[in-house]
Structure 1
């Protein structure tokens, strides 16, 4: 259970964070939320899909696996991809809003904080100012905050043009087991191809057309996920 508290340089003066990937840190998740600014980098490795959220909204996800709790990019050697989404890298920090100000919180129950005095990354310098590591975290949190706000516009545009469609993904693996993904959405390519020039121009001017095509391009990564899953069951020769 997460225990987010406001970060400050007195209570957390000696706080250190283990930053490497690991299942013990909660990285063994099949997906993570991403923002449109990440689509170009994410599509090189992961399928990008959409999932309904509370309040009749949607969020974009980078898929890491084909089953809950299964991250096919995570191994004992680290994270096997050139790009790791911001929502993963910013852990164990979260952003909050207090009035008109953004605030930084830390999950005090995170396993990333369980390290010795010479392990991990320091959060504050001796005099109490942020370390370069914390400044990097702050930048990631701000980018996520701004990106989530911008995502509302993208989702609204996708819905306006009927570009979101539900899909079910079923596959039989090399060992005979099956995987089934449902409750997810992708881009309706027929609806996209049917858009007239005016609609395409509006999407382009709003900055939404490129992310749409990045989602479409990312779907080829389902084959790569299947190959990663099948390699688990390959019989050594």
Structure 2
């Protein structure tokens, strides 16, 4: 267990947090409010919690564990999901706590959390917003997924990437919204989903899977260049 510390301006006045730590993250959980922000850049897919079996949503940034294909010098150039933004930070008993040994705090060139006056700097404000996004968004997203499951809108997706060198990479345990099932919904159900915002989110997710081709292209290019 990490030795968590309650974040405070006295003890952590000089603490810095780096955003260039995403290179080893190939998957990150996101919540429904992030779908419109993430969909232009990443494939959004669903998987199951290994312990509970419950579905949750996430963005795929690589096709192999421990390797993010989209980072530049360790940082994502586009939208950074809240789950990545808050790395090293947690909420415990209503307080923001940190794991002081987390890699996020190991870079002396990271961004300061507190200014000279002790006020929160932009880096900390982003973390605070990320923590709020997850705290409020996870229950709301769970409810949306349950509604989709009620209407049998999730289905397994076969993700197999083929490389020019003959290698094949298969991603298992992933799910997507079924457009066939969506289009077969009764009109009254479709209207209800539209008014709740669920329908728009479903289309955003389904449309985002086109980015899997981008991941496959990047991986293939790096294999040919000897970068993997």
Q: Give me the TM-score of the superposition, normalised by structure 2.
A: 0.89
* In structure 1, C-alpha distance between the alignment counterparts of 2:46 and 2:207, rounded to whole Å: 14
* In structure 2, C-alpha distance between the alignment counterparts of 1:173 and 1:132, rounded to whole Å: 41
Change (3 A) 1:167 1:11: same
Change (3 A) 1:172 1:115: closer
Change (3 A) 1:232 1:132: closer
What root-mean-square deviation, in Å, do the aligned CA atoms of Structure 1 and Structure 2 show? 2.1
What is the match of residue 65 of structure 1?
Answer: 62
* Counterparts of residues 213-228 of structure 1 (less than 5 Å): 213-228=203-218
Q: Deviations over 1:166-189 (max 9, x none)?
A: 223223211111101111111122
* In structure 1, C-alpha distance between the alignment counterparts of 2:121 and 2:211, rounded to whole Å: 37
Shift of 1:3: 4.2
Shift of 1:150: 0.9
Unaligned runs of 5+ in 1: none
Change (3 A) 1:2 1:165: farther
Shift of 1:133: 2.7
What is the match of residue 147 of structure 1?
Answer: 137
- Alignment check: 8 A CA contact 2:44 2:209 kept: yes
* In structure 2, C-alpha distance between the alignment counterparts of 1:46 and 1:18, rounded to whole Å: 22
Higher strand content, 1 or 2: 1
* Counterparts of residues 20-169 of structure 1 (less than 5 Å): 21=20, 25=21, 27-53=23-49, 54-76=51-73, 78-79=75-76, 81-96=77-92, 98=93, 102-116=94-108, 119-169=109-159
- Alignment check: 8 A CA contact 2:111 2:123 kept: yes
Runs of 4+ in 1 over 6 A off after TM superposition: none
- Alignment check: 8 A CA contact 2:17 2:123 kept: no
